Chains A and B, each alone.
Chain A
Amino acid sequence: MRRHLMPWMLGGALLLAGATTAEPLRYAEDRAPPIVNPLFTTTMSEARLAELVFEGLFTDDAKLSSTPRLATGLDLAEDRMSAVVRLKPGVTWQDGESFTAEDVAFTVAAMKEESTASTERGRVQFIQEVEVIDDLTVKLTFEREEYAPEDKLHFKVLPAHRFEGTAVKRSDAFRTQPIGTGPYRVKRFNDDNSITLAKFDQYHDSTRIDEITMREVADKNYQSKLLLYESLEALVRVLPRDLATLQADRKVELYPYQTNSWWYVGFQNNRAPFDDERVREALTLLVDIDALLAPIGTGEVVSGPFVTSSPYYNHEVKRPKPDARKAAELLTAAGFAKSGDYWSRDGKPLTLKLTAQENLETAQDVVIALQSQLQSQGIKVEPTFLGTAEWKAKVWRERDFDAVLSQWSFDRSEDVTEQFHSEGKFNFGHYANAEVDALLDQAKDTSDPQAKKALLREVHAKVADDHPMIFLWTLDSYSAISRRVRKVVIHPFYFFTWSREWELK
């Protein structure tokens, strides 16, 4: 009898060891998402939560290529002006209703609706018309030729039956009662600002972790402590100064990932003396970027507006090396002379009023190092740190600055039009170059990936040549996750895209 029991006991033990538990996976955000509606995503914390609750027609696979999620595939017309998307059968919303083509049509209409004022509107501008063919088939007509429309069909689909019309408001009840098709449903918003998500039992795919809790921990330093104390299982982004401590902890695993973000010091190109390209170039040549980067982490110095791993990065454009002699020549040519400790013109020292965001990680360290470098070269630096609201008002709206230290983050499209087109809404530094405008317009109009690559590489070269900003670096990013969480693969932008495979032991 004992002999017969042994294999069963052993099997049972193995099963138990491999089984997932009902314990929640807890991760931290600086600030809890105020609303959960992907039409109005304003912060990364909202985007990460939306990734767990909602799904798009397509998503990224592990190689960041598009793979069907709510779709089973698409047939692109020969003229590339339309595509028929076949939807996955048997998908239900978290309230039990069936997912149909009407939901896709509604989502596109709601995103395009003027009065909705969706922050995601740009993602569907390429779609001219949506035609529902049947419950599981939808035809999309495009504004212009599309070569890989699946790459643009990642936007989250919303349930049409939960809205009264396509004019959706941020304040609609859906913000706190979100319904998606994703692996997790919002179980409750807790009094402590945390949000509990429970596994969606009728999910059309598999998922292994039963519950996920988003915890609001405003103090970033305390976040890593909580991970070490086993009060959290995942930290989305580790501060560079915490890397060594977390690396040394045997219960935590660090996961490096590449982000499409780069740091820069942007000049106000229409304000003297920074309207003079020679001054901007001279300042660029006076900065030792490697020395700035070293204390705050590891990464790669960039020479233009793309990350080095981007297909649009122009590797022929060399990053500027510090060159004090050439900088002096340029400043002299621009009418400056070294008098005393500082470069001056008309009796006024060359002063860089540098504005940075308070909550940009390690910005303070960079500003202090930059100040020290430039002051030693005769440039006066006056730093100012602004809170988010003040930053948005001064820099984004009023564009009232000499120079800003900041970073841009992009999704897979890496569209820099708004940053460098003379009419771009994020072109705060008033950079203007007709050739760059034309190249960006052409890149936007073309759907041919090769042509787009060539055009944007040229943009890289021309922008680097104009020095509208000092391009700094793309930082290596790390997530820290408890070793109790297995099979972890992290999406560099949305974090939870592949969390269905994660297991919590």
Chain B
Amino acid sequence: MLRTLLGRAVLTVSSLVAAATAVQLLLWAAPGDPIDLLPNGAELRPQLEAEWGLDQPVWMRVVTNLGRAATGELGTSLSYRPGTPVTEVLAQPALNSFALLIASLVLALAWSAGLAAFTRGRRQHTSRLVRTLSVAPVFLLAHLCIHGLNEVTWSLMEAGTIARPAWFALPGEASAMRTALAVVLLAVGSGALADMHREAEQALISIRRSGFVDAARARGEPTFLLVARHLTLPLASLAAARTGFLLGGLVVVEKVLLINGAGAILWQAALLRDVPVALGITLMAATTVCAARLAADALRVGIDPRLRSQA
């Protein structure tokens, strides 16, 4: 057990360090820096390079930032919101993104499990339909949905059929419709639903064919709860595996649907070479992925008595 925990801890820390290092190296390697974006950047360069530590070699910048991040200090934004602490910049958007992530994960799991229970390897038409719906990339689906929805609603408004809905075409303002759309798109698009459905279906078939389910069936006991309980483990692993994938989708969905989330800010921070902000978001994303893995492991240990006895 101790070895497993230690292994997980090492994996988590190394994942965070790797992600934080990679994003910094990428941004430092890209041409241009935040000073270039100032009209009098050339004049200010010596002063700002010293102030922001850009006069140090790249490896030292990376190590310094990692050291600071380890103490929970993410620094201040350089160009996205100059002078504002990164934690302040990210507080609300990170919450928005986290809520979207959890909601889309829950929805994807519920749909894939429900569909798996319906198809169970037999209804090929339904599986094909799911694959067809899910194959479109998230960005394309998001564009189609938001513009299609706006156009149809606008036509109905112009025709006097409906009054202006509260959610209609309001950039930025919190909107239940846009949030719901984002959740659905993340749960379905870029093959998410098809992949999860396929994996859930395989797990379900395998559980239903297992000896303990046959035994329960022979005893005349209901098998639904038994199957559901055993399906929890593969679903938890599936959720953990999909977390990183959905985080990537967030960047695109938030940008297209004009949702104020960490993904949209990451995009801007990368364009503006704002390393502290990008680093903050990357660390949050990596922590989320690691936490999802740990949660899935904990769930497995909690549910499966064999794992507990091994520990």
Interface positions of A (Cβ within 8 A of B): 28, 31, 34-35, 42, 115, 117, 119, 121, 169-172, 175-176, 190-194, 215-218, 222, 225-226, 228-231, 386-394, 396-397, 425
Contact = CB atoms under 8 A, between A and B. Distances in A.
A34 B260 contact: no
Given A225-B147, A388-B37, A397-B36, 20 more contacts: A35-B82, A117-B47, A170-B82, A171-B76, A171-B83, A191-B92, A191-B260, A192-B171, A192-B260, A217-B172, A225-B150, A225-B169, A228-B154, A389-B30, A390-B32, A392-B32, A392-B36, A393-B33, A394-B31, A425-B42
A169 B171 contact: no
B283 to A, nearest CB: 21
B38 interface: yes
B267 to A, nearest CB: 9
B43 A390 contact: no
B42 A170 contact: no
Contacts of A192: 171-174, 258, 260
Contacts of B173: 192, 194
Nearest to B79: A34
A50 to B, nearest CB: 14
Contacts of B31: 386, 389-390, 393-394
Nearest to B38: A42
B37 A389 contact: yes
A31 B42 CA distance: 23
Given A175-B82, A192-B174, A388 B271 contact: yes
Contacts of B268: 31
B44 interface: yes
Contacts of A117: 40, 43-44, 47
B83 A35 contact: yes
Contacts of A391: 32
Interface centre among A190, A217, A231, A425, by most B CB within 10 Å?
A: A231
17 contacts: A28-B171, A35-B81, A42-B38, A117-B40, A191-B93, A191-B260, A217-B171, A217-B172, A218-B258, A226-B171, A228-B154, A229-B154, A230-B164, A231-B168, A393-B31, A393-B36, A397-B36
B22 to A, nearest CB: 19
A392 B171 contact: no
Given A226-B171, A389-B33, A119 B40 contact: yes
A231 B37 contact: no
Given A175-B82, A192-B260, A119 B172 contact: no
B80 interface: yes
Interface size class of B (residues with CB under 8 A): 35 or more
Contacts of B93: 191
User: Chain B interface mostly helix, strand, loop or mixed?
Assistant: loop
A215 B36 contact: no
B26 to A, nearest CB: 13
Nearest to B95: A191
Given A42-B38, A390-B30, A396-B36, A229 B169 contact: yes
A28 B154 CA distance: 20
A194 B172 contact: yes
Interface string B12-48: 0000000000000000001111101111111110010
B273 interface: yes
A171 B83 CA distance: 4
Contact of A231 (B30, B34, B171): B171
Interface string B151-171: 000100000000010001111
Interface string B69-85: 00000001001111110
Contacts of B81: 34-35
Contacts of A190: 172
A117 B36 CA distance: 14
Contacts of B34: 389
A72 to B, nearest CB: 33
B81 to A, nearest CB: 5
A194 B93 CA distance: 14
A179 to B, nearest CB: 17
Nearest to B76: A171
A392 B41 contact: yes
Those 4 A-B pairs whose CB atoms lie nearest each other, nearest first: A171-B83, A389-B32, A192-B172, A393-B32
Contacts of B170: 231
Contacts of A396: 36, 41-42
A231 B168 CA distance: 8
Given A215-B171, A216-B171, A231-B169, A176 B84 contact: yes
Nearest to B173: A192
B264 to A, nearest CB: 9
A176 B89 CA distance: 12
